[in-house]
């Protein structure tokens, strides 16, 4: 990445310019620590790469609710989803940046429960997006516990 001939515009390693293509692939991610000892992570390289997973949150006040869990802290109501910072990170380690989508939502409801607000409705925010070819972000935030299933493909 630091080579001026290979990377003349000094792009970061997660830039999609470095994603694998038909005749130009990457096989692994190599990270060195302060002692210059490498950690090598093999990257998936196939015509079609897929992964899936599941995340759940507990409602406010329940025994399972953890207000310090970064994936379930509430964020601004009208926020661009790309700006959400409280999420759980899921590793995919693909050679290309994936497209990520929600495949299912369980226990999602909007009910008439005055305990949550004057109108009696619950508020829920959930989503999933690619952070890089190595990982994705998944979040589920709200007044009620719910679960979100996700899938990724590249």
In a domain, 23, yes or no: no
Secondary structure string (H, E, C) spanning 56-75: EECCCCCCCCCCCCHHHCCC
In a domain, 117, yes or no: yes
- 93: exposed, middle or buried (Cβ count in 10 Å: 0-12, 13-18, 19+): middle
In a domain, 60, yes or no: yes
The range of the structural domain enclosing residue 128 comes to: 50-153
In a domain, 124, yes or no: yes
Whether this prediction's pTM lies above 0.85 is answered by: no
In a domain, 22, yes or no: no
CA distance 9 to 5: 9
Number of domains present in the structure of the chain = 1
pLDDT along the chain (154 residues), means of 10: 83 84 83 94 91 67 49 58 78 93 76 57 76 88 72 93
In a domain, 99, yes or no: yes
């Amino acid at each position: 990445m630091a080579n001026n001939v290979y990377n003349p515009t000094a792009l970061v390693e997660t830039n999609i310019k470095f994603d694998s293509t038909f005749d130009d692939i990457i096989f692994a991610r190599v990270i060195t620590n302060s002692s210059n000892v490498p950690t090598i992570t093999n990257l998936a390289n196939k015509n079609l790469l897929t992964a899936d997973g599941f995340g759940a949150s507990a409602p406010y006040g329940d025994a399972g609710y953890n207000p310090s869990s970064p994936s379930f802290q509430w964020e601004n109501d009208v926020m661009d989803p790309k700006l959400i910072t409280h999420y759980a990170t899921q590793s995919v380690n693909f050679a290309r940046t994936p497209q990520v989508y929600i495949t299912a939502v369980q226990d999602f409801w909007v009910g008439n429960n005055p305990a949550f607000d004057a109108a009696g409705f619950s508020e829920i925010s959930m989503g999933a997006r690619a952070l890089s070819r190595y990982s994705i972000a998944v979040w589920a935030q709200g007044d009620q516990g719910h679960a979100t299933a996700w899938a990724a493909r590249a």
